[in-house]
Chain A
Amino acid sequence: MVQSAVPARFDSVADVRDRLRKVDYLADEGIAGVVYLADRLHKPILVEGPAGTGKTQLAKSVAEITGARLIRLQCYEGLDESKAIYEWNYKKQLLRIQAERTGADGAGKADWDELSTDIFSDEFLLTRPLLEAIRAEEPVVLLIDEVDRVEVETEALLLEVLSDYTVSIPELGTLEAKQIPMVFLTSNNTRELSEALKRRCLFLHIDYPDMEREKEIVLAKVPDVTEALADQVARIVRSIRQLELKKAPSVSETLDWARTLILLGVEAVDEKVAADTVNILLKYQSDINKALREFQSSGAEPNKPWKNAGSVR
């Protein structure tokens, strides 16, 4: 491995946090700590958490602050080697062979050995994201998005890259990384990832932010928002998240909501505004109904359904 040659990207945990803050990504202690560790230990980060909490954004922001190029591999069911790592350019290879045959009419016919080494060379190699990240000269951040969407068997393709930062191509041998890329894998947790994959990664769970942080995020990301409105938005979202919902509002939905309120020229949220715009926060009718009911009540006992759910009969 080539680890030792790589200069560290960050000085300390606080350094990570401050620099992320400069690009408007407000990391909490856990996020900053894990990013710092990943840099020091040269390990990929497996980021897990509910949708819309900024998992992908984290990779983008880290790329931005380190001045690295972001290479993204979007996972989907049916992803295979030729889409993830590399592929031979068959058409070009075919043309090359034909050119050899027709070109000099026997006179300059190269022998087969020469030709075969020739057509399996760099020129005919199509790099896909993983190989591209390994071969890049400049610093890169590799983002493997929604890794839980590929089948368990396909996960194995990633293992070599993740643990050794190498790619083996039978015709060319093993290619080592020119620099150690920062690797982020994101997962929405729709299935259990294999032990082998998890073992190779640092694990980071990004949950919904607490109220203070969410308020800061709103202030940072939504132009023209007043402190008071951001505070109110964060509070209401916190209250909504405490309900048992099918899908709790994510950070991106909070931001959408705040932007909507700005566009509508709202200065303070009251019940009516909340009721009219709650469909931006919540996407299921049953959730919306539940939230509306809660808006009407003052939260005093005992109409919180989760408080007495356990004591039937």
Chain B
Amino acid sequence: MEERGFCAVSDIAVSGTAAITGAPMLELLEGFIRELREAGLPVSLTENLDAMEAVKHIPLEDREAFKYALAATLVKSNAHWRAFETVFEVYFSLRGKQWELTDELGDGADDTEGEGDGELAPLEPLAGLRGAGGDALSPEELAEMLYRALMEGDEAVLRALARQAVKRYAGMEPGRPVGGTYYLYRTLRNLDLDTMLDRLMEQTRAESPVPLTPLEERLERDEFEARIEQLKKEIEAEIRRRLVADRGVEAMAKTLRKPLPEDIDFMHASRDEMKALRQAIYPLTRKLAVRLARKRRHGRKGPLDFRNTIRHSLSYGGVPAEPKFKYPRPAKPEIFVIADISGSVAAFARFTLHLVYAISNQFSKVRSFVFIDGIDEVTDYFDGVEDIAEAVHRVNTEADVVWVDGHSDYGHAFEVFWQRWGKDIGPKTSVLLLGDARNNYHASQSWVIKEIRHKARHVFWLNPEPRSYWDTGDSIVSEYGIHCDGVFECRNLRQLEKFVDNLV
């Protein structure tokens, strides 16, 4: 339905913008916006029109301004920025500043179109510098130049060197069905940036007249790390550009599509995605806390308070003119979190614990237990701690959770829990069980869950696995599930947030 409206309006827009941007631009934008929607960004029709209007006012040569113009009209949440940036880089990587740079230096524009042409072009400033052609450089010379460029922080040279490095080391061939990460890995391995960092640090130490203090050393290291990070970005961009030239925009956009932070799967998050998740959880918990606090304050519509109404009616001569209501005082639930922290579900447990403790003022009491095959109470780790992330980290490293071999044994863990803490569960307690219920074919001891449910107010099970995997292999989630008030799939922050919201 959206699609139809979109087409109709873009026809109108064609007549309006064609004079300035030209039809190809419009087509490009259309594809660009479609890809943004595919990536999960909610781009509405009006925003689409705004973008078309906006690019009219921005000189196309200015790639940065162009990017911000599109971002300001299309992306309305900072969390979506990364996804936007990726799509933008793919769609507009073949135009803009970098290309102008190569144009100035020689015939760089041909560079991506045909492998092998214009080989030396990007290195010409360096060639002038050192009197040697780009290709004639030996790997040692290249490394030496890179080292010097990093030392001086010369961005233009770094960019040129990044290109040269990709050309030389990535071994890219047209049509080869390999992902960009493979090329990145190959390039970086050859450059050996870790040793480079050590060398840079040594050099700095040697140059300094007085020995560096730890703080100074720290600052220098951060500076070099930032430069190396910049170099990596240049290399990545170069690889991406070549891939786009090889395979076409749409195919690349699809392979590079990144999930939004709230959609990242806990169990299969890469390192970078983990970082994105950790960054996303702070604002999320804050938002959730504000929302819950508001919920509590508002919506006070209790039943009529008869006594109070009659008493106030005295001042109106016995006419109950001013009805009084009872304020409901919803009891704050008590929460027991029992989390499996083995292997791949660890990340999930970590985020759930983080979230629960971040809103712990919504509960009268929070107690947490973690297990693998043994079980341990970790409530103390969170006591009076400001930094939840650190407490969660301590839980993962210090809690005593291994009983025999460190393979999940839900049955044993639950049994021990029941013996030691079972009596603490009361009618106000909600129990959250976190895990994938992959029990390594041990006894399930599901009677414990049944007993807990008799005493507790609610028992919920959160499973980070997709629903279709439940009860396959050694997963026995339904064996526990029949004793719970609800079993929920909780694969990403979005689902987790929804559950916690409903819980309070």
Contact = CB atoms under 8 A, between A and B. Distances in A.
A7 to B, nearest CB: 15
Contacts of B77: 192, 198, 203
A43 interface: yes
B394 to A, nearest CB: 10
Contact of B223 (A48, A203, A235, A310): A235
B380 to A, nearest CB: 17
A90 interface: no
Given A37-B69, A205-B78, A199 B218 contact: no
A30 to B, nearest CB: 4
B276 to A, nearest CB: 12
Contacts of B274: 310
Interface stretch (A166-174, A178-186, A295-303): A295-303
B75 interface: yes
Contacts of B502: none
Nearest to A312: B396
Interface string A182-200: 0000000111100100110
Given A37-B72, A299-B221, A300-B221, A313 B343 contact: yes
Contact of A244 (B46, B222, B278): B278
Given A36-B57, A190-B286, A305-B393, A298 B214 contact: yes
A242 B222 contact: yes
B60 interface: no
Given A190-B290, A312-B397, A41 B57 contact: yes
Interface string A30-66: 1001101100110101101100000000000000000
A294 interface: yes
A222 interface: no
Interface in B263-304: 271, 274-275, 278, 283, 286-287, 290-291, 294
B29 interface: no
Contacts of B78: 48-49, 189, 205, 207
B305 interface: no
B50 A294 contact: no
B71 interface: yes
B287 A309 contact: no
A271 interface: yes
Interface in A77-130: none
Nearest to A192: B287
Contacts of A211: 226
A313 B58 contact: no
A77 to B, nearest CB: 8
Given A284-B386, A313-B343, A271 B215 contact: yes
B42 interface: yes
Contacts of B53: 41
Nearest to B287: A191
Contacts of A204: 72
Interface in A277-313: 284-287, 290, 294-300, 305-306, 309-310, 312-313
Closest 10 CB pairs of A and B: A299-B218, A286-B386, A33-B68, A198-B76, A298-B217, A202-B72, A286-B387, A312-B396, A30-B68, A40-B57
20 contacts: A13-B65, A29-B64, A29-B68, A41-B57, A190-B287, A202-B73, A203-B71, A207-B78, A235-B222, A235-B223, A236-B215, A246-B387, A271-B215, A298-B221, A299-B221, A310-B274, A312-B393, A313-B342, A313-B346, A313-B396
Interface of A: 13, 29-30, 33-34, 36-37, 40-41, 43, 45-46, 48-49, 151, 189-192, 195, 198-199, 201-205, 207, 211, 232, 235-236, 238-239, 242, 244, 246, 269-271, 274, 284-287, 290, 294-300, 305-306, 309-310, 312-313
Given A33-B68, A270-B215, A312-B396, 20 more contacts: A13-B58, A29-B65, A33-B58, A34-B68, A37-B57, A37-B58, A41-B53, A45-B72, A48-B78, A49-B78, A195-B42, A198-B76, A199-B76, A232-B219, A242-B222, A271-B215, A294-B218, A299-B217, A310-B274, A313-B342
